[in-house]
A and B are shown apart, each in its own frame.
Chain A
């Protein structure tokens, strides 16, 4: 960085702590970025934006919230009614959770389509999967805090899953609860951890971006940067593009905050928690529904269960469901090796592209089934969708990626941009 043209104060700081050249190399003119990134590449910066919004609004909410079973529900309502603009802060935080998952899911599907997880970005991708896991834990515990009916019963159902683990399961559940049922100690530790986890996510995000900056962004062609002609500075090109994307996203986000603030929520959570009354349907928040569907797909007569448990010998259906649910996310860690293709982007792998879109559809079906009661056709559809989810990751991706002959790749990123402009 040319320090000669700097303001004397900046120069003074730069000499002692090179923040300006650091910024310039991180998101400035000195960070070379593929010139062909499309708008799907906006979702990483959007996720960062939502994380900041969530932490800022959450810190203010914590100033007014009371983590006690007798006061939690009323303290949230006090925020809604008596704290200045409390309703705004709470609705931003509440809908921000949903926005975070929308943005991150699109970000991940973008990575899957364009092969962003492939060498040399395996660790970058894996850290991302851990960020998702951390987000899920944070969101789950946050949903418990208002201490409504869904908070309480959601917490009961999800924590009970751990009891399926052989030998230590019950002890783990007792540890999670801080007692022998979901109660005040549970609420207290969830509040504490809900405040801690976002900073763990921040740490993971720092490592995620660190790994990103080693080899830079992947791009829609999936081919490596070959010359300076292929790249442009992050600033001003992608700073302006990301800011424009943030404007669009904020309109989407704020529409829900101001005009449909309870759209993503469950009415039952406006009923104070009551351990004696079970809601008719216990459903998790929408972003957990696909995993919930996988969990519930494992009944005694589910063929996949029969196979993996050797006809029921190895484990019961509940444990199989819990394992499958965690496996559905943990398997993503292995994507870089499940996919054996030499070409990254599905734009040049038509069969893989088709498989990708069917997989997206399958995830949506799972989400739909997760919100329906476990009865009749919903069970059958959920089981087929669960089967397909794992078949895609374990069979279709490894086979198609190794057998499919990709289309002709462009000579360079620059060449592909010039061709598209014709």
Chain B
């Protein structure tokens, strides 16, 4: 009987393990997986590095936001990254947003306020597509959650531009990228060394820019992550103690049976 239990338990574990393996995502085609980077936020109890995320926001604002929207974010969310209330107000006020209609029924322009969503570079998807060879640049709010490989993929893509290997034809308007599925991507290399001038003395290399903006995007995709992990510790510790006590109760109750 004991032996049987062991066997069945082992089989159950194997079941769960297989479910887990088959539950993970399936990489597309022959494109190599972007190598794993050492992200502080991917660790079990890790968090976003605020300085990196702030620099990443600067990269987004000065480079990416020319083409890519982040429509799920509001300026007020930026206070989570350590920006002060005044800084957030100033960032929001730096863009003009269309508001209204006012009492006369007219739309009007006003400086942004913290409650506004990030201003999109194009009025609508059609305008974005028309300005970009017929394909609208994707919204970046959820990018690290919406791609197989997550932050590693985003970082890999940003630094993955290279000469096409001989024999690979890159069509007009396309660029060769090592980690983009199918390798041909419409977006030109968005970042290079010194794309952005950092104010905190960090060396403005391509990989630094890519790391920072990926950190920012990871935060944008999962702004709840730090709160989630902090709460998780408490919940699991509580459950551990509770389960331990329930086990003691069960033992005590069953004791007089055996």
From B5, B77, B224, B247, give the contact of A87 (CB < 8 A). Answer: B224
Whether, in the assembled complex, B29 has its beta carbon less than 8 Å from a beta carbon of chain A, the answer is yes
Interface string of B3-34 (1 = CB under 8 A from A): 01100100110111011111111101100000
User: A251-B240, A264-B23, A283-B26 are known contacts. Are A259 and B1 too (CB-CB below 8 A)?
Assistant: no
Interface residues on B, range: 35 or more
Q: Which of B47-55, B144-152, B196-204 contacts A (4 or more CB under 8 A)?
A: B144-152
B4 near A244 with CB under 8 A, answer: no
Are the C-beta atoms of A88 and B23 separated by less than 8 Å? no
Instruction: Decide if A81 touches B223 in the complex (CB within 8 Å).
Output: yes
> Is the Cβ of A270 less than 8 Å from the Cβ of B145?
yes
Cβ of A258 and Cβ of B236 under 8 Å apart?
A: yes
Query: Using an 8 Å CB-CB cutoff, how does the interface string of A211-222 with B read, 1 for contact, 0 for none?
Result: 000000000100
CA distance A347 to B8 in the complex (A): 11
Taking the closest CB of chain A, its distance from the CB of B7, in whole angstroms, is 9
Task: State whether the Cβ of A237 lies closer than 8 Å to any Cβ in chain B.
Answer: yes
User: What string of 1s and 0s marks CB contacts (under 8 Å) between B230-258 and chain A?
Assistant: 01100110011011001101100110011
Distance in angstroms from A263 CB to nearest chain B CB is 7
Mark B123-143 against chain A: 1 for CB-CB distance below 8 A, else 0. 000000000000000100110
**Cross-chain contact of B146 among A38, A257, A267, A364 (Cβ < 8 A):** A267
Binding stretch for chain B, among A17-25, A165-173, A306-314, A365-373: A365-373
Alpha-carbon distance between A84 and B16 when the two chains are bound, in angstroms? 32
Identify which of B18, B22, B147, B236 contacts A267 (C-beta below 8 A). Answer: B147
A109-B91 Cα distance, complex, nearest whole Å: 58
Decide if B110 is an interface residue (CB 8 Å cutoff).
no
What is the distance, in angstroms, from B10's C-beta to the closest C-beta of chain A? 11
Instruction: Please list the 5 inter-chain residue pairs (A to B) with the smallest Cβ-Cβ separation, ordered nearest first.
Output: A258-B232, A247-B243, A270-B146, A87-B224, A240-B250
B interface with A by C-beta (< 8 Å): 1-2, 4-5, 8, 11-12, 14-16, 18-26, 28-29, 44, 72, 77, 138, 141-142, 145-148, 150, 181, 221, 223-224, 228-229, 231-232, 235-236, 239-240, 242-243, 246-247, 249-250, 253-254, 257-258
Q: List 25 A-B contacts (CB under 8 A).
A: A81-B77, A81-B224, A88-B228, A232-B257, A237-B253, A247-B239, A247-B243, A251-B240, A251-B243, A257-B232, A258-B228, A258-B231, A259-B229, A262-B145, A264-B23, A266-B25, A267-B150, A270-B146, A280-B29, A286-B22, A368-B21, A368-B22, A371-B26, A416-B1, A420-B2
| 18 further A-B pairs in the complex, CB-CB below 8 A; given A113-B8, A247-B239 | A88-B231, A102-B16, A232-B257, A237-B257, A240-B250, A247-B246, A248-B243, A257-B232, A258-B229, A258-B232, A267-B147, A267-B150, A271-B138, A360-B11, A368-B21, A371-B22, A373-B26, A420-B2
